[in-house]
A and B are shown apart, each in its own frame.
Chain A
Amino acid sequence: MVNLLIVDDSFFMRQMLKNMLPKDKFVVVGEAKTGEEAVQRYKELKPDVVTMDITMPDMDGIEALKEIKKLDSQAKIVMVSAMGQKPMIKEALEAGALDFIIKPFDKEKALKILSSIKK
C-alpha cells in the first residue's frame, strides 16, 4: 500500500483525487490546503508520495516542494497543477519533483504515473 498526502487548496480536487485512487493500492493519509500546511503534514505523516498543487495561499507548491526536499531529499512528489507552462515544469523538475500532471488530466494517465512510483 502507498501512503499518499494530497496537497491542493481546492476541495473538489482533493475529493476527486481521493475518489480516483484504488483503495487496494493507495491510502490517503492526509490532506493539506496550503504549502505551509503541506510541509507540516509531511513532517508529521512521512507519506510515501505527495501530490502537490502549485497555486495555493500562503506558500505555493513549488516553494513547498523545495522545503520538503530540504527536510527529506528522498521525498517523492508529483506536481498536479493547471499551471503547466514550460518554465514552471522545468523549475519543479529541477527542484526534485518526480513528475508533472497538468489539469485537466486523464484519470487513467494520472493513475499510471502515481502507480509507477516505487515506495
Chain B
Amino acid sequence: MPKRRKGGMVVSNDLREIELKCIEIILNAILETAEMIVGSGNVSSVLIEEQKRKLDENAILLGIAGQVNGELIFGLNETALKYIASKMLEMEIDEVNELTTSSMVEFINMISGSATIKLVDHFDSDKLKMSPPLFLKGKDMNIDNRPDTIKSYRVSLDEGIHIDVTVALIDVKKK
C-alpha cells in the first residue's frame, strides 16, 4: 500500500481518507449551522486553495483534541461579521461592539457543537473535544502552522458575504 510521511511517522493512505472524511464532516456542520442561522438558501462552499495563509481582519480559532487533533480557523471581514451578528441578533447592526463580537463567537460555538456531535457519531467515541472559540482582531494575520492536512474553503453566506475556513488536521486516530 502506498505510504506517505507525516510528522516523522509513516502513515498509510487509509489515514488520509479518514482525514478527508473529517474535513467533509466539519464542512457539513459549518454549512448546516450557517444555513440555519442565515436562512438565505444561498449558503455554499468552495475549496479556495490547499493552504490559505492570510487571514481577514477578524479571526476565530477552535482547537480539536482527542480522536481528531487539529485546528479550525475562521477568517472574516467586518461586513461579514456585521451580517452574521445581524442574523443572530435579528436586528440591523451598524457598529461592532461587545454584543456583535459575542454573537459571532456564539455562531462559531454552534458550529463547534454541531461538528463535535457529527464527529462523535462518526467515530462512535466520546473522546473528542473542541476548545472554546478564541476571537482575534488584527491586521496582516497569517496562519503559521504546518500540519500535513490543511485545506481552506470559502463559505458564501449571501451575495458578497463570506467566511474563509481553514481546517488544519495534525492527526486523526482510527476508529
Which of A24-32, A36-44, A69-77, A80-88 touches B? A80-88
* Cβ contact within 8 Å between A85 and B99: no
A56 to B103, CA, bound (A): 16
* Cβ contact within 8 Å between A104 and B132: no
Q: Please, which residues of chain A bring their CB within 8 A of the CB of B120? A: 85-87
A12/B116 contact (C-beta < 8 A), A55-B132, A82-B109, A103-B110 known = no
A82 to B98, CA, bound (A): 21
Q: Which residue of B lies closest to A11 (CB)?
A: B102
Q: Interface size bucket, A side?
A: 20 to 34
Q: Please, which residues of chain B bring their CB within 8 A of the CB of A9? A: 132
Q: Please, which residues of chain B bring their CB within 8 A of the CB of A85? A: 116-117, 120-121, 126
Q: Please provide the chain B residues from 84 to 118 with a CB less than 8 Å away from any CB of chain A in the complex.
A: 88-89, 98-99, 102-103, 105-106, 109-110, 112-114, 116-117
Interface of B is mostly: helix
* Cβ contact within 8 Å between A12 and B132: no
A115 interface residue (CB < 8 Å to B): no
Q: Please, which residues of chain B bring their CB within 8 A of the CB of A104? A: 33, 36-37, 110
| Contact string against B for A residues 2-18, beta-carbon threshold 8 Å, 1 for contact and 0 otherwise | 00000001111101100
Which of B105, B110, B112, B113 has the most chain A CB atoms inside 10 A of its CB?
Answer: B113
A59 interface residue (CB < 8 Å to B): no
Closest chain-B Cβ to A115's Cβ sits at a distance in Å of 21
Q: Please, which residues of chain B bring their CB within 8 A of the CB of A16? A: 89
A57 to B132, CA, bound (A): 8
Q: A15-B99, A85-B120, A86-B121 are in contact. List 19 more A-B contacts (CB 8 A).
A: A12-B88, A12-B89, A12-B105, A13-B102, A55-B109, A55-B132, A57-B132, A82-B109, A84-B117, A85-B121, A85-B126, A87-B120, A88-B126, A103-B106, A103-B109, A103-B110, A104-B33, A104-B36, A104-B110
